[in-house]
Chain A
Amino acid sequence: MILHRRQLLTAVPAGLMLTGCDALTRNSTAKAVIGAGEQATYRWQRLVGRDGLAREFSAADISPTFKVNGTHEPTNPEWQRLSAGNFADWRLKVTGLVHRELNLTLPQLRALPQRTQITRHDCVEGWSAIGQWAGPQLAPILKAAGLRDGARYIVFLCADDYGGEASKGGLQSASRYYESVDLVDAFHPQTILAHSLNNQPLSTGHGAPLRLRVERQLGYKQAKYLMQIVVADSLAPFGGGKGGYWPDRGYEWYAGT
């Protein structure tokens, strides 16, 4: 950070200290040290709550309006075409480190054993909304595909190009939304591929036709507009390499806090 002499002369000592702190937030060594906190949190939560279940609420607790966040409607022509056809031609591909690649239709996903759960959605910004989600668990789908040796992450590729983070004071370059979880969360009983919210098929804003629910993490992990699931041994080949659209932009990959 370059300070002009006049700025230095007029700055009060406290201001200088804070400018120093601000510069420190951009220093790479400081970033590495501070980033150790995320690892500690991830390990700690796996230690004390590996199998913990997110609280499930009653129908009376459901939020009257569930706020739509992130993409409101994908502009991608392929998704637009699929949406126009009521997702009859939509397929969920399961690929990567699997024994059998899968190509699942919505009726096939609805024919699997279903899980319905009323859970609280916690946005990274601080707000919460409660909704009832329904869909098949992710675990049996992964078992049907068969994970090969080396599988460590489940990556979710989405149809929406998301661009823009108002909270950073400007537009970020648009790029394809994606997310990923470890195998503990992937095989967790409350991790489902939801096709309905509050007994209605997912609306466009909430991620039609299918979205991920990984209930012990924040809202940005709940990837919408799912197109493909990739079983991977590394997050490096995807997006910016940090395992998700927001993790590529400085947010924690493990969003349990």
Chain B
Amino acid sequence: MATAAPTLAPLRPDSRVVLRHHWLVRLTHWLNAIAIIILLMTGLNIFGAHPRLYWGDAGSVDQREQLWLETGASPPWRNPTGWIEIAGTRFDTTGFIGVSQSPKGTTSFVAFPDWATLPSGRDLATARTWHFFFAWVIILNGLAWLLYGLFSGRLWREILPKRRQLTRAHLWTDIVEHAKLNFPKGEAALSYEVLQRLAYAGVTLVLIPTVILTGLTMSPGMDAAWPWLDALWGGRQSARSVHFIAMSGIAGFLLLHLVLVVLSGPIRQIGAMITGRMTIGGDK
């Protein structure tokens, strides 16, 4: 919203530099970026210690009634097949899931390949320690962002979709503009359009709180402290499944976010998220 962005110094009569992102938004954005990437990669390593997902309270290799997702490898062992099985349907994922190449060129029988996990290769102890450290980072960072958003009003002004944006016609227009890769350049670049708002609100207010709460539910100590956690998800194994599904949503957002930043002018966009300043108008 243009009124929320104070004019700093006019470069040309028809262009001006505006403060696009508050320092707290920039700081929490980059801390979040680091935390999410490390949480994703250590999480894939942790998943590899037991690459199966179940619904309900309990599940193990000896209790597979509520198993719904599993990864693995099948013979011949000279030329093994890697697979993921979801709700009874098996997909061949040789080279990525179940069977992959280690950096040394040997065949690795891990759920996710070495390049996708931190540390690369099986190391549950280290992956867990890092995962829980950055879990603290994402929780405290997210709380700071949320409190700032609530008290500054930015949450309503910038993140939550406006009622007038939620009409079918408006949504369709924004979908068409995105599909044509027409990104706002002038005054319109000072405010997010509806798809962008839905994506940001979905990640920050739905998916990230979901991974945090399901993550806490996997902790036996937290389940004893806050019994409602376990009740909320219908059991620890359900929470582990929802944790994985919400993680997939965040990974999908991250990919889309990076693609759109690149397509819409990476120097300008990343620059604005680092310095906070963005040039509006002129021949841009």
Contact = CB atoms under 8 A, between A and B. Distances in A.
B234 to A, nearest CB: 13
A25 B130 contact: yes
Nearest to B124: A167
Contact of A128 (B59, B128, B133, B134): B59
Most buried by B among A35, A120, A128: A128
A49 to B, nearest CB: 2
B58 A63 contact: yes
Contact of B221 (A63, A67, A217, A246): A217
Given A25-B126, A40-B136, A127-B50, A67 B220 contact: no
B132 A45 contact: no
B71 to A, nearest CB: 13
Contact of B128 (A45, A66, A124, A169): A124
A120 to B, nearest CB: 6
A257 B221 contact: yes
A70 to B, nearest CB: 14
Interface in A36-84: 36-38, 40-41, 45, 48-49, 52-55, 57, 61, 63-67
B63 A41 contact: no
Interface string B136-178: 1000000000000000000000000000000000000000000
Interface residues of B, number: 45
B4 interface: no
B221 A35 contact: no
B20 interface: no
Contacts of B124: 124-125, 167, 251
A143 B218 CA distance: 33
A130 B222 contact: no
Interface stretch (A15-23, A107-115, A193-201, A228-236): A15-23
Contacts of B46: 126
A159 to B, nearest CB: 24
Given A126-B46, A126-B49, A34 B130 contact: yes
A226 interface: no
A22 B116 CA distance: 12
Nearest to A48: B225
B226 A49 contact: yes
A161 interface: no
Interface in B233-259: 236-237, 240
Contact of B58 (A21, A120, A168, A246): A120
A67 B63 contact: yes
6 contacts: A25-B126, A54-B223, A55-B224, A67-B61, A127-B59, A216-B223
